[in-house]
Chains A and B, each alone.
Chain A
Amino acid sequence: MNFHPVRVVATAALLALLGAGCQTVNTTETAQPAFQRNMVSEKRVITDSSLARKVQIQGVNVSEGPGGFLKVQVELQNTTRSYRRFAYKWEWFDKDGNLVDGPASVAITRQFEGKESLFVQGVAPNATVRDFRLKLYENAR
């Protein structure tokens, strides 16, 4: 094999430039977790397939405390190798399907590194809430 030194340097420089924007995350956890999540089956409506490819929902678990407030936790993963920003918003519904609005129903911006997973948590605004919806937004600009 005959490597041209200029080509080798140029390729290395290009790879370094491409890799500069990527910072991925390695994680470790116990093989048998001490907790058991109450995972719920979900229906997904995907209108932005670009965002759905980059930010994937790994699981949704729901719990209820002694006060009767619904608590939802969603695990999201950045499937790309680069730093990503996204926003999410919770919507809450009572047993009749009516929207229960409140000051906490706002879009929250989050960021994660490449391949990193994170949890977003939401707590129902009151004890009449029986259902929820999570909206995910990609940076439009």
Chain B
Amino acid sequence: MNRHLVSAAIVVVAAALLGGCASSQATYVDPGSTRTLTNVGEINVQDWNMASEAMINSLIAKHINSGNLKGSGPDGRAVLAISRIVNNTSIQIDTDILVKKIRVALLGTGKVVADITAGLGGPEDPLAAEAKREAQFLGTQKVASRPDYTLSGKIIENRTRQGNKSESTYVFQMALATRDGLAVWEEEKTITKQGKRSAVGW
């Protein structure tokens, strides 16, 4: 009798323990934390975060906070347009992951506005571009014809392998140019990762 009770208890406890281990549920993680997945051969969320943080801090500290920003936009804000961001890596990436963070941060400074009617691949917002053209044609309001600044950049990759260790380096380069084509701010952020296989976190 006692033996049966003990056996039943063991089965129940084992089932409870295994039930906890076999969980395959997806969990939410803070994308701004270090709990996101990282691997050597790709640009992961943490890498984009680190690159954008470095660019934003540098741009604010070296150009905006120093009082060098000159603007012709509303309330004297500088008008920024995004130029070409070259992906020189072996992986397919959407550079907007980086550019959008920088744009959001610059808009948040209260010193910069983004022109989404100007772009190399056509306007980001075609309706806004049409409205701007119309306003310029009718002369109903003062519309800046050219952005004060353009932001361009390049992402470069370098891979190395030694024994069973592999290393990936991603170099993020960005430049801010005036209407005259002069670069008034430049920054480079290098992120290097080493590993034997995909790993979680750092």
Contact = CB atoms under 8 A, between A and B. Distances in A.
A25 interface: no
A66 B108 CA distance: 18
A85 B199 CA distance: 15
B110 A127 contact: yes
A106 B30 CA distance: 9
Contacts of B61: 65, 69, 71, 121, 123
**How big is chain B's contact interface, by range?**
20 to 34
Contacts of B56: 102-104, 123, 125
Contact of A103 (B52, B64, B66, B200): B52
B60 interface: yes
Interface string B14-42: 00000000000000000111100000000
A105 B57 contact: no
B104 interface: yes
Interface in B70-89: none
B34 A87 contact: yes
A22 interface: no
Interface of B: 31-34, 46, 49-50, 52-53, 56-57, 60-61, 64-67, 69, 101-102, 104-105, 108-111, 200-202
18 contacts: A65-B67, A67-B60, A67-B64, A67-B65, A67-B66, A69-B109, A71-B61, A85-B202, A102-B108, A106-B33, A108-B50, A109-B46, A124-B60, A125-B56, A125-B60, A125-B105, A139-B201, A141-B200
Given A104-B105, A124-B60, A125-B109, 16 more contacts: A65-B66, A104-B53, A104-B57, A104-B101, A106-B49, A106-B50, A107-B32, A107-B34, A107-B46, A109-B50, A122-B57, A123-B57, A123-B60, A123-B65, A125-B56, A139-B34
